[in-house]
Each structure stands twice: as structure tokens, then as C-alpha cells.
Amino acid sequence: MEQTIWQKEEAHLKQISALLKQQIEVQTNHLKKQKGDIVEERTQASSEFNDISGESAIQFSQMLQTMQLREREYVQQSEQLAKMQILYKSPYFGRISLENEQGDREHLYIGLSTFREPVTDDVLIYDWRAPISSLFYENKVGQARYQIPDGEYISVTIQGRRQYKVKYDELLQVLDADIYVGDEVLQSLLSDTAKEKMKSIVATIQSDQNIVIRSSNKDNLIVLGPPGSGKTSVAMQRIAFLLYEYRQTMNARSILLISPSDLFNDYISNVLPELGEENVQHTTYYRLLRDLKLTHYKAETSYENIERLQLATDEGREHYAFKGSHNYVKQLLNYIASIKKAGMPFYNLKVEGKLFVSAKKLTELFYEKYGALDIDFRLKKIRNVLLEKVGQQKSKDRKVLMKELKAVNAYIGTDKEIEQQVNEKLQKRYGKLESTIQQLGFVNINKMYINSLGFEKDDLFMQAIQEATTETLKNRILYYEDLAPIMYLQAIVKGLYANNTIKHIVIDEIQDYSYLQLLTIKAMHPKAHYTLLGDKNQLVHPQMKDSLAGPLAKHFKVVELNKSYRSTNEITDFMSAILNNTTTQSLGVSGEKPQVIETVTVTDTLAQLVKVQFKEQDSFVILCKNKLACEQLYHELKPLVPQLQLVTEEQKVYMKGILIMPGYMAKGFEFTTVVVADANAGVYTEKMDAYLLYTMASRATRQLFFVTGGTLPKALAHIGEQYYRKEENI
């Protein structure tokens, strides 16, 4: 590259950095003064308005509005300062050279947020999410166009594209990338992404990823792609784009991210703040129970479910499969439709052991008095009747209690204190009943669920499912496969738990969800649009899910990514060979082939691997099939590897260093080195284990090892020796 180009770029960077630094200083000083003014106004208000009545109340109200406006301005300007501070660390990462239809030429620099010249207000750095910035991610030069917010397309000619690696005011790399964005820079910027938490990828977004990221909020998307194709990163950039593009109508509280675990939520927690955005709401499917007021159950988590199903009988797995099937969804929907006419189960409501209202009476109200209404409206009408009845009964009891307490000869308090005692007694007597009625708890959801399992089918299989489920519900236990039916009934029948503030939901690892789970999420968030991300092959559950089949795809636009950027070419080739997958294009770097190590001293072999392979800045994980195997190996290996850390489901914070965890928990993460410590035929015996091993292997970015006692699992034994190295008795 000509020295003059480097010098020009270096001078431009120093000019921009100096302006950023200057504006950061100006804004910091302005905010300090503004903060002092706000504190002074508050102090003045508290001293002047001890009595806020009459005319003083009007003056106080006016002052309060002014103060609130100032404080909102302070918050907004603080956010702007935070964005400038992030931008100062790396002002921009790209440039496009354009010629418009009038023949005017200009260079547009692209960064994490917009930065304007303080005097002229000219844009010096364009936010990567701005409409014109989309041209940077196009896979071409020449004629192009971009869409502005009013829907109009602007035609331009892309004359050149340049990428940078920048740190503060230091120019580290300049690369002209006229034909293809990303590949060369990917190798340096993403040389090994597994050393820490997930980062943003805005500098290396590819054209196929860009289409997903910039899709309209109203587009319901399913994004499928192999390991390392950037699905989760794309999801986070999509959230950042939506927050920018729809900033007038959406904020961080308008978006919900549903991910596999709390640990994974922590792993991705840096991405949005890196982009200058507030983290959105995040949860797991399991935690949605709280939103539906179902915390009185002891509910099984997804990881506990995997452990149980690994050891389950054929009958237990068949029960699980049915509850998550499309056939059961149809059966459940038909059952719900049928209770409009007959069969709605209710509880008897009691107060201190005495019948308050019978299930028979509730049934009469439901079908006779309010039978013309929708189910949830009938229940809410009944709620009003019951609350009125409670109010009448409390009024009667209040008079009796007041009379009794005032008739006591001894002094028991003033009239006000006696009234307080009466209120406490009434609360103790009726509080739980009132809460039950408010939440429509007189509906027997458990009975509805049991009835739905056998609806219009009375064979031995259904009877067995009903009996087994009745037993667990009686003990207030919810298996993971029972969550969706119970949650769906709670949401649809009662109609109490709709969250209309959520406008977009992003769900990662969609292949782990049943169709009914997705219907439940939809019922809870009726105003939301969706971005679903997954991989049909990354399956860690012993039982196949079918969410990506059937009616779901009909309502979604499906986008398939087929390029993998994470692992070395050799690791990608090996994991593709596990499932005979030939569609993944590896754009990684070259490295060593995965290694199969035969040994009879597993613990010593693992300790030696750690000693030879682990470097302080790397991430290193040992994987076993299940929790018990991890715990046993951890206790054996810990004396030899003192820094070893056991990762369990209770872990909430992402850890670095040398880890050991079940293979199913590793999905979504990436590690410099992965060691599968129990790669034995006797451990991975089932057909679905091929998918589990594929997922475990795909976590490695640079080094992959399989430790075996001699006989590899069937899923690995068929792989040609050209894909791996073999070593005995290390």
C-alpha cells in the first residue's frame, strides 16, 4: 500500500480523535454543571415548598415539570457522552467511497454510532445501522441502492470500500476490500473469538448476515445456520439495529431475549453495551413460569430434563415425545374449544375449612349466566361476583368482630387500634381467598391438563400418560414437558398474563423448543414479532424436537446461513463428518487436525493435556456426557489440576480458565480447546448422541481432542482417518 494513503488515513484518524476528545471534555463539563444545577433546584424546592397546598401547589407543580424536563435532558446527554466515550476507543472500522446520481463523490466513515462536526453539524462518522451504512456490507462495488425511512430508494455507485483496525488515535491496519467484506479482516479481528465473552461483530458483518440484521421489525424470521455462522452475534446486532431504527417507538424494555440459560445471558451481556445500547430484558423459558404465577410448583429445568431423559425408560420418553408433539397441540386446542360448551373443571372455594362457593355453583355461572361470552370473559365476570360476595361477607364479619372486641372488659386498645386488629383478622381469614379469586385460581388448570391428554382418545397409552402426570402434579412437580401445556392453559384460558409492551422477541437455540412452547410465548406476548435462531443439527436432548417442522415455517421467513467462521477448517471438516454434513462452508483458518487419544489412564492424560495445551489467555473446557460423569472426573482431576472449575446449572456468571461441564451445557459457548473426556462406545450409545457429539465438537475454535478407552462411539468410529490424528497411551 502506498505510504501516502497510510499517511492520509493516519492524519484523518488523528483529526477525528482530537474532535471526539474535545467534545467528550466539553460534554463532561456541561454535565457536571447541569448536575449541580439540578441538585440546587431540588434543594431550593424542598426549602421553599414545605406546604404544597393552594397557590403553592400550582407553583410546585410548575417547578416539578421544569425539574423533570432538566433531568430527562441530563439522562439523554449522559447517554450521548457514553456513546462518544465508546466511539473514542475505536472511532470507525470502515469507509465507503460513493458517487451519487449528480456525480458528487464522498467518503463515508462507518462506526458504532453517529458523530457530527460540532460547528457545521456535518456527519463525520455514520452509525453502522444508518440506511446508507448498509452499502458497506454489500458484497460488491458498482451500482447499488439503499432505502431511506420513507421507503424511497437512493441509487449510488460504490467506488471503493476500506476497512480499518483502529485503537484510539492509532491506526493499526488498513485494508481495501472492494470485492468482499470481512474475510481478510475476519482472520485478524476474529483470530480466536473464544478467549473471553462474546463481542460485537459490526466490523465484520457479512452480506447474508446483514440481510437478517436489517430486516423490518414486522418480519418474523427463522435464521438457521451451522456452528460458527454467527447466529447469536447476528441476533445481538439485530437487537441493536431495531433499537436504532425504531427508537421513536421501541426501547430496551420493548425487546425480550430468551436464551438457553442464565450463564449464557451473562456470556453475551457485553455485546449491546459495546454498541452503546442498554441491555434488553432477558429470560429463559423456565423463568417465564414466574410471569404466569406458577411458582408454587417445583419445576424441572431443561438441563434437569436432559439428565432425566438420558436415563428414562422407553415409556418415559414416549410420554415426553407425545406432550411436545404437533398431535398433542391439535388435541389440546380441540379440548379448549370443547370446554366452551361443557366440562370446565372448577375447585370448591373454602374459608377456614367451610365451603364459600361450590364448584357446581361456579359451573352454573360459567355455562348458564355467562355462557354467551368468551372463556376468559366468563371467568372475569365470575371473579367480580365472587369478590362482591367476599366483600359482603367481610362487611358482616367486621361488624361482628368489632362488637366482640369492644365488648371485652379489659383494655385492648383505642378504637383505631381495635379496627387495626379487625383488619388483620379479616386479612388472615380472607386474604388468601381474595388472592385466589383475583388470579382466577378457582379454575382447576391441573384437571384441564389431565383431561386434555385423554381428550377424544381413551387408549391404554393415554391412560398411562394421564396416570403418570396426575401423580407428579399431585406432588406439585412439573416435569419440563409439562411446563408448556400448563403455561399455555394458564395464559389462554385465564387471559390474565398478556404482556403488550414487548414488541420483538429473539429466541436463541430454537431447535430446543417444541411448537407448544412457542405458542405459549406467543400467548404471553401477543403484540410481539419474532427472530428465531437455531441449527437443526445442534441437538443435545435425547429426544428429537419438531418445532422447525409443520405449521411454524409457514408464518416465518426462513434465512439459511451456510458459512462458518469460528473453528479451524480441520475442526469444521471433522464435525461435519460426524453427521455427513456437506453444506457448511468453512471460512476459518487452518490448524491442526482433531486428535483421538486412546488411554487407560484418563485422569493422567487429561492433566498432561492441560499442561501442554492450556495458555493463560485461552479458554479450555473438558466435556462429559452428563453431570455425574463431570462431578466424578472433577474430584479425580482437581488434585492434579488445581485451577480446574466445575460448571453447574447454578452458575450465573461466565468463567474463564480451565472448566469442566456436561456437553449439553456447552452449547452456545466457544472455547479455544475442547476435550471430550468420555468418548467411549459404552457412553454414547444412542442415535441422538451423534448430534450431541457434533455439538460438543463444534465448541472448539483451535484444538479438539477425544479421549477414549479404546472403542469410539459409533458416531465417531465411521469418520475417515484423514480427518484426525490418533495417539495411543499418552
Q: Is 228 one of the annotated binding-site residues? A: yes
Taking CA atoms, 563 is separated from 57, 301, 566, 723, in Å, by: 65, 32, 10, 19
Distance CA 425, CA 404 (A): 13
Q: Which residues of 492-522 are buried (b: 16+ CB within 10 A; e: fewer)?
A: bbbbbbeeeebbbbbbbbbbbbbbbbbbbbe
Query: Cα 461 vs. chain centroid, distance in angstroms?
Result: 36
**DSSP conformational letter for 593:** P
Q: Which candidate, 86, 76, 87, 88, places its Cα nearest to that of 34?
A: 76
Q: In angstroms, rounded to a whole number, what is the distance separating the alpha carbons of residues 622 and 674? A: 6
Q: Would the annotation count 441 as a binding residue?
A: no
Residue 227 assigned to a binding site = yes
230 marked among binding-site residues: yes
3-state secondary structure of 371: coil
Q: What is the rounded CA–CA span in Å between residue 97 and residue 104?
A: 11
Flag whether 231 is marked binding: yes
Residue 200 marked in a binding site: no
Distance CA 270, CA 79 (A): 17
CA distance 529 to 242: 12
Q: How far apart are CA 133 and CA 108, in angstroms?
A: 8
Cell (9 digits) for 520: 405459549
Question: What are phi and psi for residue 217, nearest 5 degrees?
Answer: -60, -30
Q: What are phi and psi of 643, to 5 degrees?
A: -85, 5
Answer for the pair 158, 152: CB distance below 8 angstroms, yes or no.
no
Question: Which run of H or E residues covers position 645?
Answer: strand 645-646
CA–CA–CA angle 664, 666, 669 (5° rounding):
145
* Binding annotation: 225-232
Could you list the residues known to form a binding site for ATP, using ranges: 225-232
